[in-house]
Structure 1
């Protein structure tokens, strides 16, 4: 690394740093992170903070409650969120702002653009955005699930140069360093593939967070595809942040793609969820990522799920091969009707009048997956 010349950075802080003992918020580990943010801003770098910890911070207020109960967890999040934001706010001498998001906010294009505009407006006015998932209202259908992936989505939305993900170890090792003394730290990852995921294992058992090393790699994959330098570092040591500011790599550096995805394509592929599927003939080989008109009702063999005009859908072959995620210009009901017409001339005339089935402005190619 050379001396960092970041215009904008997203830093993700987990529950274990916010509330190590689940006895409310502690500033013990947050002081060095806050100082890093202060120094970044002094160097002219804008910062967005993605902070987990509301559930862990509020846990001590429900000593007699069953912590696994969903309603109790939501209440813990509601109570803990105010304490967490207050703790962060005390560490800064500049204003901060709370942004609570669900995946429904991110996967809806109009709301996603609104989130971008809010972040940019806050940064332009020297206000620190503090982002967290809105655990008080999320359901399985609406939640991102972990703040590692949320931080990657936020990094993409905010057009960040770098994403810094804090962990409890120095970075990605070739095997679990808690179990193997000969584990080796990977200082640089040029390409994320299955061999990299194999090193991650699962979530940490007994931890206060919802993610593990695997979700951090998932986040890194999202970020680097948008051209964002991504680092997994040890957030418990001040040295990590000093090294970053000195242009040194304290953990694992995931190098960004040389040709990043365009913003709208990245959003379609990594943020928007498919609400249904369109199954096409097995020999269909059109390049949908460059020509939406290639997909017509004559190629469709089945429509799965219920979706509306403007929803994201997955287009795949009968053998399961994924082709693209795309914005649908038809509802599932109408698409079923058109695809089931025996009169092909009628279907062709209908499509000529109403336009292509999917929008060529919002297509993310998946064929290489």
Structure 2
């Protein structure tokens, strides 16, 4: 590890570190993380902090109940967010800024670009961005669901060099260390495959929403963008001293040798498909690479309701996922031309209105 090569780092801190007893925020574990951030900044490294904890921080302000419905959870998040921000603010002698996001913000290209610009502007003016999912307003359709994956999306949007995910264990083990005494820590992962995912179990904390599986998902998103990713134990102060010394205290996920371009990465890992276009099974999957265009006579069916500019999934009739792309047609119009028996009319219509998918707006899925 060569920290001198890092220009920008994203650090993800979970609820168990923020409010370990669900009785409000505690600086017990946060102090060493804050000192780490201060020292990174002193070395010229820009830092973005992704912090969970609003629900855990606010839960003590409400009567205890066995049934926490969605409305109550949102109220806890609203109350706890201010306490969480105040706690972080007290630990720094430089300004901080709050950014609350939903997946709806990230998957909309215009808002995504706006988030990038705001983050860069804060960093360039010495302000520490503190990002969390906006639990108060998010819905099932709009939420990321866990801040591990959110941190990877943020790291990609911020063009970070490294993503550090703080966990309650030292890193990724070959089996659950809480139930197996012979579990072995993996210091390095070069390829994230089904074998690595099989090592990720459920959440080991009763406070957080993410387990090791979501951390591996986050690592896959980040490394595909060329970002060094670490899963480390955030409960140990020595973790951060080790990082500053250029050593790896946990599991280091090596980045792709050929990272995805920013717009392709966004479409693959951040944008969610609003519908799908199904093509016949003998469709040539190299169409995007070789510059061929999708035509209406190759479409078997159009599923979902989407508008011009929405991200769609292109798949074969047998279920094989081919690509994600921005559609130049609405689902209604695309269904209309695909259903035409007069192919000459359909072809002429498409020639006049332009391609169904533009070459620059296609992300071919490597794992189909």
State whether residues 65 and 72 of structure 1, in contact with CA within 8 Å, keep that contact through their aligned partners in structure 2. no
Aligned to 1:289, the other structure's residue is in SS state helix
Distance 1:292 1:272, change over 3 A: farther
Partner of residue 16, structure 2: 16
Report what 1:315 is aligned to: 314
Is 1:291–1:360's contact at 8 Å kept on the other side of the alignment?
A: no
CA distance in 2, matches of 1:237, 1:4: 23
Contact 2:285 2:322 (C-alpha < 8 Å) held by counterparts: no
CA contact (8 A) 1:277 1:304 kept: yes
Q: Tell me the equivalent position of 1:234.
A: 233
Report which stretch shifted further, 356-365 or 320-329. Answer: 356-365
The alpha carbon displacement at 1:98 in A equals: 0.1
Q: CA deviation at 1:67?
A: 5.0
- Quick one: distance in 2 between partners of 1:80 and 1:289? 47
RMSD over aligned CA atoms reads: 1.1
Question: Aligned residue for 1:154?
Answer: 154
2:293, 2:357 within 8 Å by CA — same for their partners in 1? Answer: no
* CA separation of 1:104 and 1:31: change in aligned 2, threshold 3 A: same
Q: Which residue of 2 aligns with 1:72?
A: 72
- The residue number in structure 2 matching 1:169 is 169
Q: Partners in 2 of 1:115 and 1:60 — Cα distance?
A: 32
Question: Helix, strand or coil for the counterpart of 2:78?
Answer: helix
Give the Cα separation in 2 of the matches to 1:94 and 1:172. 34
Matches within 5 A, 1:282-361: 282-290=281-289, 293-361=292-360
Q: So what's the TM-score if we normalise by structure 2?
A: 0.98
CA distance in 1, matches of 2:100, 2:116: 13
Deviations 1:238-274 (A, max 9, x none): 1111111110000000000010000000000000000
The CA distance in 2 between the partners of 1:337 and 1:278, in whole Å, is 13
For residues 94 and 225 of structure 2, the distance between their equivalents in structure 1, rounded to whole angstroms, comes to 30
Query: What does 1:111-260 align with in structure 2 at a 5 Å threshold?
Result: 111-204=111-204, 207-260=206-259
Q: Give per-residue Cα distances to partners, 1:336-359, cap 9 Å, x unaligned.
A: 000000000111111111111012
Distance 1:76 1:302, change over 3 A: same
Query: In terms of mean alpha carbon deviation, does 72-81 or 353-362 score higher?
Result: 353-362
1:363 shift after superposition: 1.0
Distance in 1, matches of 2:200 and 2:238, equals: 24
Please list every run of 5 or more consecutive structure 2 residues that lacks an aligned counterpart in the other structure.
none
| Structure 1 residue 294: Cα displacement | 2.0
State the TM-score, normalized to the length of structure 1: 0.98
| 1:293 and 1:357 in contact (8 A); partners too | no
Which digits, 9 at most, give the CA deviation of each residue in 1:118-159, with x for residues without a partner?
000000000000000000001100000000000000000000
- Is the 1:305–1:332 Cα contact (8 Å) retained in structure 2? yes
Q: CA deviation at 1:207?
A: 1.2
Aligned runs of 1:48-67 on 2, under 5 Å?
48-66=48-66
Equivalent pair of 1:162/1:228 in contact (CA under 8 Å): yes
* Residue pairs, 1:252-271, within 5 angstroms: 252-271=251-270
In 2, Cα distance between equivalents of 1:192 and 1:4: 26
**Following the alignment from structure 2 to structure 1, what is the Cα–Cα distance between the partners of residues 367 and 169?**
32
The CA deviation at 1:286 is 4.2
CA distance in 2 between partners of 1:357 and 1:3 (Å): 45
Greater Cα offset, 339-348 or 1-10: 1-10
Q: 1:172 Cα shift?
A: 0.1
List structure 1 runs of 4+ shifted beyond 6 angstroms. none
Residue pair 1:341, 1:347 contacting (<8 A) in 2 also? yes
